[in-house]
Amino acid sequence: MGVFTIILPEIFLFLSSTLLLMVGLFYKRVNIINLLTFSILILTAVLVIYQPSSFGFNNSFVNDEFSKTIKVLILIGSASTLLMFSPSRRKINIDIYEFPILISFASLGMMVMVSSNDLLAMFIGLELQSLSLYVLASLNRNSLQSSESGIKYFILGALSSGLLLFGISYIYGFTGNTNFSLISATYDKDSLGLLIGIVFVCSGLAFKVSAVPFHMWTPDVYQGAPTPVTGFFALAPKIAAVAIFLRFLYSSFGETAAEWQQIIIFLSIASMIFAAFAAIAQSNIKRLMAYSSIGHVGYILIGMACFNFEGIQSLIIYLILYLVMNISVFSFILMMKRKDEYCENINDLSGLYKHNPFYAILIALSMFSLAGIPPLAGFFGKFYIFMSAIKSDFYLLAVVGIVASVVSSFYYLRIVKIIYFDEPSEKFDEFNSNSLNLLFFISSGIVILFFIYPSPILNIGNYAAKTFF
């Protein structure tokens, strides 16, 4: 029994989700199922918080401060998605009870992934979440775009899993181990085969975090998938993938940091620059957010490249603020309705300021925050990332990052411009969804007021970073 307490939250989530799946079969009240799943996710988060740090299953599963922090973030992201789902489900034709359950299975996969300390455990978790995500992306069966996005995601995802497995086999072949700690203890520094393995695993994981040049799927999938699913993509899986990417590199290859740091630095620079320029021409807000998320991954990877305490701390802070800002933006996107039809073009935002000045200023400040303008939360995310970069003497990375942030501020400003300066178009429908309003106000409140009392989030960063250094 003792060993199972280590994965108690995962077991709880698994059993209750399975139970709900069966209940749903007979009792098709989507709302109730959604609510139950929501409470299960919250309960799981509570379980995670109160779990002692430990490891087990031959050290292939670890519960440390880092994984606990990430898990809570993932569960918050998933729970927020469920809040986004409930008011929009009828309209987007995804009114089926499997949605919340798929979300909770995906979260389960991510939790396993984040805690895994073994290549195989990592792969199992990764596949569980990926399969759930493929289904989620194509959930709107009547929409061509949604199906397209599901297929695209599936094919490219399968390719990346292939790359990942190929890399795993190399690593196993050249070290004889799949456990991160054992790999780190036994590897041969000059082994070329091992290096090939690292490169392939990195490519596979870069695909999951959607870093350039493995980002091709992101814009199409974001645009095609039903909006709550897009929100989910932006919130949870990215955080999980970043976390496992970090653990894989730090735990198994901590001593050859110089080798993989080059890869991460390249991914980071490429993502920041590419996203900054590619997003300028976008007119669909979901697509724009896809490019924006690619850019943010670039900044997160700076933190990962640093390989020190400040690096992880800044990465965690950035992830938390990224989560908050995305919740704010996506809950607003789901409120953009005209005559009961969803609007996705950014030009539809024009005149928001005439009709709903309060919402306009909040969404505009969220945009400024995404652009990293002080005193909003996004600035502090970038600030800590650059702190760690300069501490690690990555001056070039910091300069490229900061220039890219100026370029990228242009497309965020464009949204502000449309809201405030352009000729007003028609009024949106009333923003009367309670759950979306709740999400929107809480998240944008954090975005705006973060600078007054930043210590809690900074402390979380400290807490999580202690795991590795």
Question: Residue 430, Cβ neighbours under 10 Å: how many?
Answer: 9
Query: Which residue's CB is nearer to other proteins, number 26 or number 421?
Result: 421
Does residue 166 touch other proteins according to CB under 8 A? no
Site for other proteins (CB under 8 A): which residue of 162, 173, 193, 375? Answer: 375
x/- site string to other proteins, residues 208 to 227, per CB under 8 A?
--------------------
| Least distance CB 293 / other proteins (angstroms) | 21
Does residue 357 touch other proteins according to CB under 8 A? yes
Site for other proteins (CB under 8 A): which residue of 172, 383, 441, 463? Answer: 383
Query: Which residue's CB is nearer to other proteins, number 256 or number 462?
Result: 462
| Least distance CB 428 / other proteins (angstroms) | 18
Does residue 155 touch other proteins according to CB under 8 A? no
- 3-class SS letters over the chain: CHHHHHHHHHHHHHHHHHHHHHHHHHCCCHHHHHHHHHHHHHHHHHHHHCCCCEEECCCCEEECHHHHHHHHHHHHHHHHHHHHHHHHCCCCCCCCCHHHHHHHHHHHHHHHHHHECEHHHHHHHHHHHHHHHHHHHCCCCCCHHHHHHHHHHHHHHHHHHHHHHHHHHHHHHHHCCCEHHHHHHHCCCCCHHHHHHHHHHHHHHHHHHCCCCCCCHHHHHHHHCCHHHHHHHHHHHHHHHHHHHHHHHHHHHHHHHHHHHHHHHHHHHHHHHHHHHHHHHCCEHHHHHHHHHHHHHHHHHHHHHHCCHHHHHHHHHHHHHHHHHHHHHHHHHCCCEECCEECCEHHHHCCHHHHCHHHHHHHHHHHHHHHCCCCCHHHHHHHHHHHHHHHCCCHHHHHHHHHHHHHHHHHHHHHHHHHHCCCCCCCCCCCCCHHHHHHHHHHHHHHHHCCCCCHHHHHHHHHHHCCCC
| Least distance CB 218 / other proteins (angstroms) | 26
| Least distance CB 296 / other proteins (angstroms) | 17
**Interacting residues with other proteins between 389 and 418 (CB under 8 A):** 390-391, 395, 398-399, 402-403, 405-406, 409-410, 413, 416-417
- Contacts with other proteins by CB under 8 A: the residue count is 34
Contact between residue 37 and residue 17 where contact means Cβ atoms under 8 Å apart: yes
CA atoms within 13 A on the CB side of 116: 24
Does residue 281 touch other proteins according to CB under 8 A? no
| Least distance CB 402 / other proteins (angstroms) | 4
Cα 73 to Cα 319: distance, rounded to the nearest angstrom: 8
Site for other proteins (CB under 8 A): which residue of 35, 131, 257, 458? Answer: 458
Does residue 387 touch other proteins according to CB under 8 A? yes
**Interacting residues with other proteins between 315 and 334 (CB under 8 A):** none
Query: Which residue's CB is nearer to other proteins, number 176 or number 375?
Result: 375
Site for other proteins (CB under 8 A): which residue of 85, 207, 330, 368? Answer: 368
Stretch that binds other proteins, among 7-15, 43-51, 229-237, 371-379 (CB under 8 A): 371-379
| Least distance CB 413 / other proteins (angstroms) | 6
Query: Which residue's CB is nearer to other proteins, number 43 or number 413?
Result: 413
| Least distance CB 378 / other proteins (angstroms) | 12
| Least distance CB 404 / other proteins (angstroms) | 10
| Least distance CB 414 / other proteins (angstroms) | 9
The residues, any chain, with a CB within 8 Å of residue 155's CB and separated by 6 or more, are none
Does residue 8 touch other proteins according to CB under 8 A? no
Query: Which residue's CB is nearer to other proteins, number 117 or number 444?
Result: 444
Site for other proteins (CB under 8 A): which residue of 26, 52, 339, 421? Answer: 421
Using CB under 8 A, list all residues that contact other proteins: 353, 357, 361, 364-365, 368, 373-375, 379-380, 383, 386-387, 390-391, 395, 398-399, 402-403, 405-406, 409-410, 413, 416-417, 420-421, 451, 454-455, 458
